Amino acid sequence: MHIQTAAVHTLKDLAHGAVVPPVHLSSTFELDRASEDGQYAYQRGANPTRAQLETVLAALEGAAHGFAFASGMAATAASLSTLSVGDEILLPASVYGGTYRFVDLVLPGRGVTGRFVDDLGALSDADFTPATRAVFVETPANPTLRITDLRRISELAHRHGALVIVDNTFMTPVLQRPLELGADVVVQSATKYLAGHSDMLAGVITTNDDALADAFHLSQVAQGGVLAPQDSFRLIQSIKTLPLRLERQQQNAEAIVAHLRDRADIARVRYPGSHSEEEAAVHASQAVGGGAVLSFELADGLDRVAFLQALRYPAYAVSLGGVESLICRPAAMTHEAMTDEARRAAGISEELLRLSVGIEDLSDLLEDLDQALAAAAR
């Protein structure tokens, strides 16, 4: 099945013939009185509706296993749960601020070291030590939109016995399938594109590795950060329109990138592949589009605050991937957990703005950006 068909038709309610499978809200399930067995026992361990969602997630990714968590950070934390005392993980310097916070403040208490690399694409054998057990990748990176070659990084990491964990939130399996490129684990903040309406928190993990799957299920059972049945049901329904939404969002984003690049009042526009021809070629080889997030800086002399205040449509808010456009300043919002030095190393300036493009009419978005830029120049 193509991904749009899989998004709609993966689930079938064979017992009742319902086009939309029911929601199972029960927190506990009756067991056989003699054997004490049952497919389900307690919602934290498993729930029919969450199991349906996890089936859909695995199908979209072409994975053997899928897991649903209560937030993107819960999924990210679970993906790092296989690390042990003395282990090291390599990450890009510009990694999402929530992931940076977890690696910087939580993992050291567990005896795990995080090493942030300025350019993950330049990683070589010399960067690995006997303690290196995982490489965490964002491609495109947030918010610099830098690209990492997933095939090369997977081959390199596996040569040193390290896992490759990919945060695929920006691309989703519609545009990029990291497991097919050599990655071991894919995490996503389903709050973003998968849910798509800025009205729920959720996180997902997919993998083909049976041992890792056991570890992620243990994380669900032992730590309890699972997705509730109602949200699981809503996410199933939202995923059905994911390819359609993302197609429109990407079309809008590509047009906005082209429009802003032609303006003298924009100092720089970042979009997947914009850093170099090499990165553009890599991205084209492993993804089928640039997605719907871009970042940019206003030219010198323009008033950033006036620009933001003049915008009518993009909300000034964190998050991304919703049907409505959102704009934020990463240095103060999504990456505020970083030190000033860490943000500079990551290439995140104080003036950088990140725009998540929605499904609004393109002409309205372009007109809004133009009038806001005019206001910023007064």
214 is catalytic: no
44 is catalytic: yes
Distance, in Å, from the CA atom of 360 to the CA atom of 198, rounded to the nearest integer, reads 15
> Under a CB-based contact definition with an 8 Å cutoff, are residues 43 and 28 in contact?
yes
240 is catalytic: no
Q: Strand locations in the chain, DSSP E? A: 65-69, 88-92, 113-117, 132-138, 163-167, 185-189, 203-207, 266-270, 293-298, 315-316, 326-328, 353-356
Residue bearing tokens 């040193």 = 160
Residue 222: Cβ-neighbour burial (10 angstroms; 0-12, 13-18, 19+): exposed
Pairing of strands 113-117, 88-92: parallel
Spot the catalytic one: 50, 87, 96, 329: 96
Spot the catalytic one: 40, 44, 304, 313: 44
Question: Which amino acid does the sequence have at 140?
Answer: P
Residue bearing tokens 């009038």 = 371
167 is catalytic: yes
- Token digits of residue 372: 């806001």
343 φ, ψ to 5°? -65, -40
Spot the catalytic one: 87, 167, 184, 231: 167
Distance, in Å, from the CA atom of 219 to the CA atom of 213, rounded to the nearest integer, reads 10
Residues labelled catalytic: 44, 96, 167, 192
